[in-house]
Structure 1
């Protein structure tokens, strides 16, 4: 019994120290690792959050772009950072699901090496076809694929990317005989689909929407909760009976593993507040994404669910890791 009182004293002191840390945090600038190059959707969403959060936290949030390896270089840097709240990062469905599913022996664990804080934004995905393909909706597309087994191709921005795995899921669900044509980036894929070199294209909506609006691509389905105001006549995958691929791309805020709960709560509270600000929501929507926020537990569940779904696809489709991205 004589050990109990000192132990309780230690616990009380530790609790007070944690509470004090949360009250004073942050006392210096915060680094936000964005695992992709400046100018892309991930970078833009990260910078929007950083600008708004800086004002609320009373300290600068400095963006550090660590591009390379499909987002793995920046993710590794974050995983190895001190868990003190002064190095945070942006996680995406690519860095924390597709990459790991395709490369299970990779250098970081999407679940164990990070602390989820909140989702920040979601982006619709879209399936389009070249306008010369004689189809206008999903039933016609499936009939066309069945009539031309092995001859219909789908383009994506790279092997083992989110859209490759979406295409693989589509292939499996529909029992289609399709050929994947990977490119080094969605921009190159878009050019070839418009040019008629590839029939189908799986992409994020912001990259394809201008070409859809210019009637250079024909949309067949979107991955979103409801039909989009910008494409009101295009059904969601869920409407078409493909609920398991009706999944948007997401971007969220994470820290290294074992980030103190009090700091997680502080960052989550700030994130919920800033992502509800009209000016922040407007800026995010201009990118083609929808602003959001979640609890740490909800975001952690979204990461795990995305990873499990893509791991299943990689296994059933026999997809192998290709570091060249081609």
Structure 2
């Protein structure tokens, strides 16, 4: 290893013996582009303590919500490329936003260095119990018999829930009526009351309602049936392979961050994700640890942007940021 790389790693807190000298004056900042309490925020906070211990420096979670995640991601893109600021990227910030917004204050590919995927989050298609379909096949038949009549809720136009619902329609040749809300809370409230009938969500959010019998799950996006929903088929089982991709959360650094630092950050996250307590804390929220390599995560982001652009063209979704 070259002396320059050793110094860079030491400054990043990646060499335990040298990290302590940096810890008192350096704090790793994890920017969460959404409010506290959500799955993105939970993921960052579960990681913060083990990362701090592994890197030998304080780790601070900094919530910067706004503009569908664009505010926080813009802050990360403009931060110093020294590995001390990382952003928690999501399918929304690095897949949906680049596809639906005419102008975005960051480039999801050019403005960041991919670090690692932290977790995957399975998605689920749910309906209100009043919907006369007990399984996915019956649901599709219902949609085809009543084109444009069945309503689906989303947290807003251009959200991941909207994109998933549009993807479902495009791959099944069906049509539903979009009812956008201002956030997930009012959307779910009306769904539970039966004012709207369909919702595409993450399993972690809908599971309590499914288990209580307030919602019916018809399909999940995962590589196998989930232990918590053993009777619910995956989209792949239904031959809808394009719909089977789950959501995810990962880490990105500002473009230009030295590759040696990016690798060190990824390795620290991977080490943290091996800890049983961390894995359990994430599993309790329906999140599955990943820890992919930087190149793998970078390719994944590009794939998601391309996919969501196809969906946005199909659904003719075009928004103005801010």
Q: TM (normalized to structure 2)?
A: 0.94
Greater Rg, structure 1 or structure 2? 1
Q: Which of residues 1, 23, 26 is equivalent to 2:10?
A: 23
Q: 1:112 to 1:322 in 2, by over 3 A?
A: closer
Runs of 4+ in 1 over 3 A off after TM superposition: none
SS class of match (2:297): helix
Distance 1:135 1:127 in 2: 13
Distance 2:248 2:297 in 1: 10
Per-residue deviation, 1:105: 2.3
SS class of match (2:95): helix
Give the structure 2 partner of residue 221 of structure 1.
219
Show CA shifts across 1:158-197 (max 9, x none).
1101110111111111111211111122221111112111
Give the structure 1 partner of residue 232 of structure 2.
234
SS class of match (2:317): coil
Deviates more, 1:196-205 or 1:182-191: 182-191
1:297 and 2:284 are equivalent in the alignment: no
Per-residue deviation, 1:297: 0.6
Give the structure 2 partner of residue 3 of structure 1.
none
Q: 1:112 to 1:323 in 2, by over 3 A?
A: closer
Distance 1:285 1:178 in 2: 33
Distance 1:291 1:185 in 2: 27
Distance 1:24 1:322 in 2: 40
Per-residue deviation, 1:24: 4.3
Per-residue deviation, 1:22: 1.1
Distance 1:109 1:24 in 2: 27
Q: Which of residues 56, 75, 78 is equivalent to 1:77?
A: 75
Per-residue deviation, 1:244: 0.3
Give the structure 2 partner of residue 181 of structure 1.
179
Contact between 1:160 and 1:322, CA under 8 Å: does it hold in 2?
A: no
Distance 2:144 2:194 in 1: 20
Contact between 2:126 and 2:216, CA under 8 Å: does it hold in 1?
A: yes
SS class of match (1:19): helix
Give the structure 1 partner of residue 305 of structure 2.
307
Give the structure 1 partner of residue 54 of structure 2.
56
Distance 1:82 1:188 in 2: 38
Contact between 1:85 and 1:259, CA under 8 Å: does it hold in 2?
A: yes
Q: Which of residues 238, 253, 256 is equivalent to 2:254?
A: 256
Give the structure 1 partner of residue 19 of structure 2.
none
1:282 and 2:275 are equivalent in the alignment: no
Distance 2:216 2:321 in 1: 31
Give the structure 1 partner of residue 118 of structure 2.
120
Q: 1:322 to 1:235 in 2, by over 3 A?
A: farther
Per-residue deviation, 1:16: 2.4
Give the structure 2 partner of residue 9 of structure 1.
none
Show CA shifts across 1:104-139 (max 9, x none).
421110011011111111111110111011101111
Distance 2:128 2:303 in 1: 32
Quote the RMSD (CA, aligned, Å): 1.4
Contact between 1:53 and 1:61, CA under 8 Å: does it hold in 2?
A: yes
Give the structure 1 partner of residue 103 of structure 2.
105
Contact between 1:19 and 1:262, CA under 8 Å: does it hold in 2?
A: no
Distance 1:322 1:247 in 2: 26
Distance 1:179 1:24 in 2: 53
Per-residue deviation, 1:48: 1.2
Unpaired runs of 5+ in structure 2? 14-21
Distance 2:201 2:317 in 1: 19
Contact between 1:159 and 1:322, CA under 8 Å: does it hold in 2?
A: no
SS class of match (1:82): coil
